[in-house]
Amino acid sequence: MNRVSKTKKITILGSTGSIGVNALNIARHLSSKFEVVAIAARANIDLLEQQAKEFHPKIIAVYEKEAALVLQKRLPGIKVVGGMEGLQEAAAHDDADLVISAMSGSVGILPTAAAIKKGKQIGLANKEVLVAAGAYITALAEQFGSKLLPIDSEHSALFQCLDNEDKASVRRLILTASGGPFWHRSKEELGQITVEQALAHPNWKMGPKITVDCSTLMNKGLEVIEAHFLFGTPIEKIEVVVHPQSVIHSMVEYIDGSMLAQMSEPNMLIPIQYAMTYPDREPGILPPFDFTRFAKLEFYTSDPHRFPCLELAFEALRMGGTAPCYLNAANEALVHSFLQKEISWSEIGTKLERLLNKYKPEKRADLDVIQATDLLARNEALEGVATHSLLRIL
């Protein structure tokens, strides 16, 4: 097996989030293999300061400009940049070999594009980059010779199962979903979900937005859109199966009936490390897999009546153009409203369906159109919430 012959220099966009913190855990675990060149986050300068003192990056980017100024005073020996320009500068830093794109939301699109234009390898953990701008980003990666390495556990699984296989021999990609915390609840019970319940995922520890998306199955819908762009697979060849144990992360079925599945402990350290060390493998942090803990593996079909968001993602992909971008931004706004307790859990799906039904997508999807669509979707989603909140008060 080939080993990494030199230290790989990495940039982590979103170093204070769960993916970024785990990526730094791996960099610490494999300290002779990695050098952290740059880190970036939205505003958590306390954690950025701690990370900087341990890993000594050459540049730090903070999206909130005022927070960047505060951090620069704390760390006079390290260059600190702010705003979107700062994120792009850190992402395109000349020294980096691999850029881990893990900032949540559409804010990650422009920095990822900046890294791609420099020909960097991209460890892609930000769903919005491909959901909102999939055609643009994949074309850009091909143009500049930038390899996209998926970090989501499902796409990492597919990436590994598809390695060195002929694309024409693939019958279907099968993404697995945990089903979230409400899989066995009735439609009536789903109408009473609280924010605290939605944030209690049974298998994974993640940020609040993605955790809520898992509970509505929108997270899986966004992953379907990602898989379409990442692997160039038509929508009719992509399926979802609910697998509550989250041990099989995804599967590929080939035309001869053979199936390849990637299995592991449900822990994000594994796909993050695979992307970081690719094309090699290195000793992991976790102990060997214990099969006795998972004596039973279950599989179910999803229920669109209880979880409409998954089918809405398929529909957005069928609509094409800017529809996935619109869906993603509207969903993000509605999830935020739910977390603020302005709308109910069930209303995320019902409001999203109404918004998508009346939306007319644009075929052209360059960055200007993507940004305009993103803003439009958020505004329209929030208009509905504002009207609903007013009616509640009246």
**Model confidence over 78-115: pLDDT tens digits?**
999 999 999 999 999 999 999 999 998 788 999 999 99
Contact by Cβ (8 Å): 10, 35:
yes
Q: What angle do CA 379, 380, 384 make, to 5 degrees?
A: 115
In the sheet with 248-254, reading across from the earlier edge strand, the strands are: 238-242, 170-177, 248-254, 259-263
d(CA 145, CA 6): 21
| Residue ranges of the chain assigned to CATH 3.40.50.720 | 8-151
What is the CATH number assigned to the segment(s) 320-394?
1.10.1740.10
- List, run by run, the mean pLDDT of 10-residue segments along the chain (394 residues): 70 96 98 98 97 98 98 97 98 98 90 97 93 94 97 96 92 94 87 89 75 92 96 96 95 97 95 97 95 92 91 96 96 94 95 97 89 95 66 40
Distance of alpha carbon 24 from alpha carbon 7, whole angstroms:
15
Topology classification of domain 8-151: Rossmann fold (3.40.50)
* pLDDT computed for residue 364 by the predictor: 81
For the chain, where do the domains classified as CATH 1.10.1740.10 start and end? 320-394
Q: Would you state the pLDDT for residue 188?
A: 87
pLDDT of residue 106: 82
- Residues 6 or more apart in contact with residue 146 via CB below 8 angstroms: 115, 116, 118, 119, 120, 121, 122, 140
pTM of the model: 0.91
pLDDT at 187: 85
pLDDT in tens, 339-361: 999 999 999 999 999 999 999 99
